[in-house]
Amino acid sequence: MDGILNFNKPIGWTSHDAVARVRRLIREKRVGHAGTLDPLATGVLLVCIGQATRVAEYLMASDKVYLARIRLGITTDTYDSQGQVTGTREVQVNEPALQAVLAKFSGEIEQVPPMYSALKHQGKPLYKLARQGVEVERAARKVTIYGLFLRELALPEFAVEVHCSSGTYIRSLAHDIGQALGCGAHMTALERRASGAFSISQAVTAAKLEEAIIQENWQMLLHPIDTALQALPAVTLEPAMAQRVRHGQKVNLPMPPASACRAYDGDGKLVALMVYQPEADSWRPDKVFDLA
């Protein structure tokens, strides 16, 4: 029961709801997710099962692709349609003006996270402070928009496809686009279409998972743990070296220095995630896996 489930989260569920459903269905305690989706959002939610929970950080760091629907002329406190309306303005925007503004949000940009987010201030989630009517100053963060494409246009609404770096808030992007257009905006729908190598076309619904469990073949829906580590170089260990790594010992690997690598045994099984230690010119097992 070790692997990554590409789960298609339905609207209305929190990411915690999805994890709880999967945990209950497969009867496995070690279940987590990599990259939160708001209840309003749908699409790819990577659910890590068993030892896969140990590579969640690598899944979270991957690029994302979203399809976002945005309504001009109305702003809300949450930057989406689930919040309270904070203002309305007339929309005098045409397609050329919209395209010109979208172009300004391509590349590396600075983005202020929304108050209604899970980021913490002095140990307390921002959204809890926001619900208490408290607003705190948030530092702008650099994110990268690799692609921002207009997919539908029916003003005052439109849809954009966003290819972005990890940590990008699409709600904030919608809000900032509205500010740049001078009329305000909020997000009305969001679908995560891809997270790293995982796409919406391959995502599994709750109904499909339940059906696979009844047929006792649900493990076939899991992706291998090392799918999360494909960006790292790989090395195959000799038997004696593999044994040393399994016992947490440092080794010298026949490969050029890098920050980390995947180590496999002669049977192709993932043994460990290794990190390079330049001061000792050796490799240390950071995460050791015991895979069947």
Q: Which pair of tokens denotes residue 174?
A: 């919608």
Which of 2, 38, 80, 176 is an active site residue? 38
Q: Is 267 a catalytic residue?
A: no
d(CA 5, CA 48): 6
Instruction: Encode burial over 247-285: b for 16+ CB neighbours within 10 A, e otherwise.
Output: eeeebebeeeeeebbbbbbeeeebbbbbebeeeeeebeb
Q: Which pair of tokens denotes residue 106?
A: 């391509």
d(CA 270, CA 266): 10
Which residues are CB-neighbours of 283 under 8 A, at least 6 positions away? Answer: 250, 251, 252, 253, 261, 263, 274, 275, 276, 277
- Cβ atoms of 174 and 187 within 8 Å: the answer is yes
Q: Which of 140, 144, 146 is nearest to 109 (CA)?
A: 144
The burial of 109, by beta-carbon neighbours within 10 Å (0-12 exposed, 13-18 middle, 19 or more buried), is given as: middle
Query: Strand 260-264 relative to strand 234-236: parallel, antiparallel, unpaired?
Result: parallel
Q: Which pair of tokens denotes residue 68?
A: 């976002």
Q: Which of 195, 208, 203, 257 is nearest to 5 (CA)?
A: 203
Cα–Cα distances in angstroms (integers) from residue 38 to residues 17, 47, 162, 178, 190, in the given order: 11, 15, 17, 21, 9
Catalytic residues: 38
